[in-house]
Chain A
Amino acid sequence: MALTEQEILAGLGKIVNEITGIPAVEVTPEKSFVDDLDIDSLSMVEIAVAAQDEFGVEIPDDQLKHLKTVKDVINFIQA
């Protein structure tokens, strides 16, 4: 019972909002965390930690740096 893209997106939106205050609706698949959402590297680690807890996946550091957009994270969690 893999999560759908919509379910992951909703979960990510909640996490990003909790950590950065950015409204969840602004967290859309094409957005880049750094360039579009203005999220710094420490916040990105916070988001990854929260996403690991929420979705039960491990995101190794060498993978995290390749996850540039919201869609990248969704793909990683679905994979």
Chain B
Amino acid sequence: MSKDRVVVVTGIGATTPVGGDAASTWSALLDGRSGVRTITEDWIDSVPVKFAGLSAVDPGDVLPRPEARRLDRAEQFALIAAREAWQDAGKPEVEPTRLGVAVGSGIGGITTILAAYDVFKEKGWNRLSPFTVPMLMPNGSAGWISIEIGAQAGTHSPVSACATGAEGIAYGVQMIKDGRADVVVAGGTEAAIHPLNIGSFAAMRAMSTRNDEPARASRPFDKGRDGFVLGEGAGIVVLESEEHARARGAKIYAVAAGAGYSSDAHHIAQPEPSGAGIQSAMRRALESAGLTGADIVHVNAHATSTPAGDVVETIAIKEAVGTHPLVTSTKSMTGHLLGGAGGIESVFTILALTERIVPPTINLDDLDDGIDVDIVRAEPRKLPGGQIAAVNNSFGFGGHNVAVAFTSV
């Protein structure tokens, strides 16, 4: 197999805090609508953060009850987004041994673990669901998707905290480039809106506590930002060798041109202050894609609205790519989907190239000092015609940096 096989995107799917599918999500982003709202669960008084990016459509309203009850919520999101992407790709006919899956979750089935432990303590082991293990394992989503579509080339689940979704897509691209598969369903999912997670992230002082204005809490690049906003959902793409896609006359959204990785080896949870690791990941993505900084017209930034991270990333973008790309953080509207972030944000990067428009970063009232890149504020902005390229950045606790590069068809 040739190592220079071209990989294209032929299907997209997403379920997010702003929409139950990719199209409604995209339209909400272009409208600048926030999906962040007050949590009304009875546990809310036990945590200092009272809001989150709750999924716009509850997966329990989409999936049949017998199916939903044996899936963790993260698996429910993943299956919904994967079905949408698969359908969108035209349900490609592909030899099962040439069909792969690369879908991960940052945390896995944590709500299942906690609920199951309650059952265990209160009623004993023999009242546990026999699906407890497949629901809590972080590779569960990938496994269910592989069963659904009959994927036998290999099913993988990268776990790299908030870089997981991007790493899934990067892994899928590599599977095809390496000749291991012709089609790969790839992305990330997360369902972690639980008081223990909110309490734990709050213990790191990582979350916004803007309880009086939830929709204005996620404000990447803004001077007044005070932490990230937890979101939930999944973003999945269908990756395919260009040869395979052209042979079946598939609709092609974009080329998944390459990916770059690096790791900070600095701190388990804080970004390395010079942004050197982010620069490396972006440079490696460009190199892998055969692009230069000048080709990049748009960056979907990781920028989570934490005081420590956002400015460093813009400096790294300036160094690795330049000040010319239109930069946005869609987390201003969706919140931070952790392992799902790279999945949905790759979908947004692909749609930005296809539709030639970049959604805004909302809530950016007062640009922080030291930001020299061109951030899309308040209103969407158009991308140029012709051959263009864009990068999706995703970084995770543990020091993971992943950049995925896409080009227009």
Residues on A close to B: CB < 8 A?
A: 18-21, 42, 45-46, 49, 52-53
Contacts and interface: CB of A to CB of B under 8 A. Distances in A.
A39 to B, nearest CB: 11
B66 A19 contact: yes
B131 A46 contact: yes
Given A18-B65, A49-B130, A52-B127, 7 more contacts: A19-B69, A20-B66, A21-B64, A21-B66, A46-B70, A49-B126, A49-B128
A18 B127 CA distance: 16
Contacts of B126: 49, 52
B129 interface: yes
Contacts of B67: 21
Interface residues of B, number: 12
B130 A18 contact: no
5 contacts: A19-B69, A42-B130, A46-B129, A49-B126, A49-B130
A49 B70 CA distance: 14
Most chain A CB within a 10 A radius of its CB, from B64, B127, B130: B130
A32 B394 CA distance: 51
Contacts of A46: 70, 129-131
Contacts of B128: 49
Interface string B114-153: 0000000000001111110000000000000000000000
Interface string B41-79: 000000000000000000000001111011000000000
A73 to B, nearest CB: 16
A45 B127 CA distance: 10
A19 B131 CA distance: 12
B335 to A, nearest CB: 33
B66 A53 contact: no
B67 to A, nearest CB: 8
Most chain A CB within a 10 A radius of its CB, from B67, B70, B126: B126
B130 A21 contact: no
B127 A21 contact: no
B66 A42 contact: no
Contacts of A52: 126-127
Contacts of A19: 66, 69
A42 B130 CA distance: 6
Nearest to A42: B130
A45 B129 CA distance: 8
A18 B129 contact: no
A45 B126 CA distance: 9
Interface string B315-356: 000000000000000000000000000000000000000000
Contacts of A53: 127
A45 B69 contact: no
